[in-house]
Every structure is written in C-alpha cells, then in structure tokens.
A and B are shown apart, each in its own frame.
Chain A
C-alpha cells in the first residue's frame, strides 16, 4: 500500500485574516446545514436520547457514532491513499486526553448535550441548550486564561506526539481498517440484538 504520508494536497492557510476565504466559508455553511439536519433526524439533539445513552438505556448515540466511523474511515483512508485529502491528526497527550476526557464526560452527564448536539438541540427548539452553550463559551474562556500554565504542566504529561493505532499496534493501516470495520460491525450487531433501542 502506497502511503503518501503528507498528502500532496496543500492546505491553504489564511494568515492574519478575520474571515476565511469565501469558498471555505460557503463549504462550511453547506456541510454544517447537512450535519445539523442529520443530527436532528438521528434524534441526537434530544435530551432523553443522549442521557439515555449515558444511562445505557438507549444506544442511538453509539449506533450513530460507530456507523459514522465505519463509513468515514473507509472513505477518508481511501481518499488519503490516492493523495486526495490530508489527515488531521491531533497529538496524543495521555494526561491531557484522560483528564480532559473525564472532565468533558462529567460535563456531558450534567448538560445531556455535547458541543455539536447542543447546536442541534437549539435548532429544534430545546431552549435549555442555550444555558449549556453559554457554559461552553465560559469554559473555553477559562481554558484560554489558564492555557499558558496548562501547556507547561498537564499537557506535557505522557506526551507522545501524533500517534495512530497502526503505529502503536504495528499493524499495516489497510489491514487494521479492515479489522476495525469488522469489529465495529460486530459490536453494532451485538447491540442491536441485546438492547431495546
């Protein structure tokens, strides 16, 4: 398998501009509309479906996410194989990923929406999402205020750089994608068989 690595497709970065290029803004609007439409139709902007997932009563959220990952993975890696897209990997920092992840989860349990589904909730008239969104803005500000110090402390703990599962498991990417697709489909079949929704 030929892996172009850093794909030939060049990212155009607009330095020091207040507004991104028109083409990019237009694509953001179109894809955002589609995303919101799908989230609402999938019921994942609805409190009882989201909190139902966290209470392990309703498996809609996991079904949506896993299906998106299966379909997305096959397409994005195929496109990357032919150097049509760049990957966008975020660095692995064990301390920050775990502590941040747990804090995020605790917040998720309290609001019952996440950053994207809160937007969908607001769109369908679940007005309580506004409180959560105000909190999300405040929490982002709090992080920015502390970002200097966090960068030097928590974010250095267990810093491993840009790391993918094929690197860690020493399995060729194509093979691992095939395995992951089968495993995730297996999990979905299991969930479908043993849960009510």
Chain B
C-alpha cells in the first residue's frame, strides 16, 4: 500500500469516527447540563469570523500563526534558566526553541488582558475559584479542583508539545492551512477530551 493511499485512509477513517458521536446529549440533572448556565455574550459566528480575520492579520503583519501553547514552554524555560541555567540550555527542546520574550509570549500575556477588558466592559467578570458546573458535580473543594486542573495541565502541555500545537495552533491556524498534522491532532484532541469529560460527568 503506498503512503498517499494510507494517508487518505487515515483522514477518511478519522472523519468517519466523528460521525459516530451523538450530537446532543442532555443531562438528566439540570445542574450537570451546560444549557442551564448562561451562553456567550456574542454570536459564536461573529467571534469565529473575528478570529479568522485576526489570523489574516497575524500572518500578514507578524508572519506568525495564532498559537498559545508555546507560551507555557517559554515560561518553563525562563523558570528553568533561573534555577538551573546550564541544564536548561542543554535540553534538546530549549536548544531548538530558546526561551525569549518572543511574539507568542507577549501574544498570550495580551490575551489575558484582552479577556479582562472584554469581561470588565461587558459585565462578564466571574471572580470565582470554582466553576458552577464543576461545583454541581464535584463539590466545594478548591484543592480537588486545583489538583485535577494541575494534572490536566501537565497532560495537556506534554501532549501539545508532542503533537506540535494546541487548540489554537493546530485547531485553528493549522487546520485553516489544510495541514494534515493539524487535522489529525485536532481530531485526537476531541476524541481524548470527549472521552474524559464523559467519564468525569457520567453519573
């Protein structure tokens, strides 16, 4: 079997898998149903189109695709250099991607600020340590939420570096360039995410 035929099978097989999922699953308990909580402030189509146009601008003006996960690797590199400079500089990943105040670093810092502006001007400030739907399922322990979110973060960043990007870098910037790696990765993001979320919220 030649590789192009194999590639085609991988792509079509993956797309076929997606259609096996049921489209809407209402939870029996309304507190565990996302519809019981408020929806977005703006239409998702308006926001999506805005992000699409933003990607033209970042490609044109910055020569960079939108991406978020490398920010965390840069922060890890900064912290590493603070405590073990030589060891950090000798790691293969940091040799290839030395931690610097680069475009994606400031981009994600500004993302935090941009969301703050949107929340403050649009009445969207949450100011909470536990999301409501988490509390409805797992109770009031901040320690439990912290441990699960931290562990999830470790898995997520490790996976992002291995796969080569995240929901932004692969999920939007890569797929829009019709990059095969991105379509495979984003499919796996959702297969993994749906499986774990269903297990967590299964009652």
Instruction: Please report A residues at the B interface, Cβ cutoff 8 Å.
Output: 9, 11-12, 17-20, 24-25, 27-49, 51-52, 54-58, 60, 63-73, 75-77, 79, 84-94, 96-129, 131-145, 147-148, 150-151, 154-155, 160, 162-170, 173, 176-177, 180, 188, 191, 194-197
Report A-chain residues with C-beta under 8 Å of the C-beta of B92: 144, 147-148, 151
Tell me the complex Cα distance, A107–B148, Å: 9
A66 contact from B7, B48, B182, Cβ within 8 A? B48
A65 contact from B41, B68, B127, B171, Cβ within 8 A? B171
Minimum CB–CB distance from B37 to chain A (whole Å) comes to 4
B178 contact from A85, A100, A123, A166, Cβ within 8 A? A166
Report A-chain residues with C-beta under 8 Å of the C-beta of B147: 131
Given A89-B177, A139-B156, A140-B73, A25 and B103 contact (CB-CB distance below 8 Å): yes
Report A-chain residues with C-beta under 8 Å of the C-beta of B61: 27, 31
Report B-chain residues with C-beta under 8 Å of the C-beta of A65: 48, 167, 171-172
Tell me the complex Cα distance, A191–B39, Å: 16
Q: Is the CB of A56 within 8 A of B24?
A: yes
Main SS class of interface, B: helix
Q: Is the CB of B156 within 8 A of A107?
A: yes
Minimum CB–CB distance from B88 to chain A (whole Å) comes to 8
> Can you list 29 A-B contacts with CB-CB less than 8 angstroms, sorted by A residue number?
A29-B106, A32-B113, A33-B113, A35-B111, A36-B112, A36-B117, A37-B117, A43-B40, A72-B172, A76-B56, A88-B59, A97-B163, A97-B185, A100-B158, A103-B156, A104-B160, A104-B163, A106-B152, A107-B157, A110-B156, A112-B152, A124-B116, A132-B153, A135-B154, A139-B156, A140-B157, A144-B91, A144-B92, A164-B180
Tell me the complex Cα distance, A65–B151, Å: 25
Report A-chain residues with C-beta under 8 Å of the C-beta of B44: 42-43, 60, 63-64, 67
Report A-chain residues with C-beta under 8 Å of the C-beta of B181: 90-93, 97, 163
Q: Is the CB of A191 within 8 A of B23?
A: yes
Report B-chain residues with C-beta under 8 Å of the C-beta of A116: 66-68, 108, 111, 166-168
Report A-chain residues with C-beta under 8 Å of the C-beta of B10: 94
B133 contact from A51, A91, A165, A194, Cβ within 8 A? A51
Instruction: Please report B residues at the A interface, Cβ cutoff 8 Å.
Output: 3-4, 7-8, 10-11, 21-27, 33-35, 37, 39-42, 44-45, 47-69, 71-73, 75-77, 79-80, 88, 91-94, 100-119, 122, 124-134, 142, 145-201
Q: Is the CB of A105 within 8 A of B116?
A: no
Q: Is the CB of A72 within 8 A of B56?
A: yes
Given A49-B40, A57-B25, A140-B157, A107 and B152 contact (CB-CB distance below 8 Å): yes
Minimum CB–CB distance from B110 to chain A (whole Å) comes to 3
Q: Which of A29, A70, A144 has the most chain B CB atoms inside 10 A of its CB?
A: A144
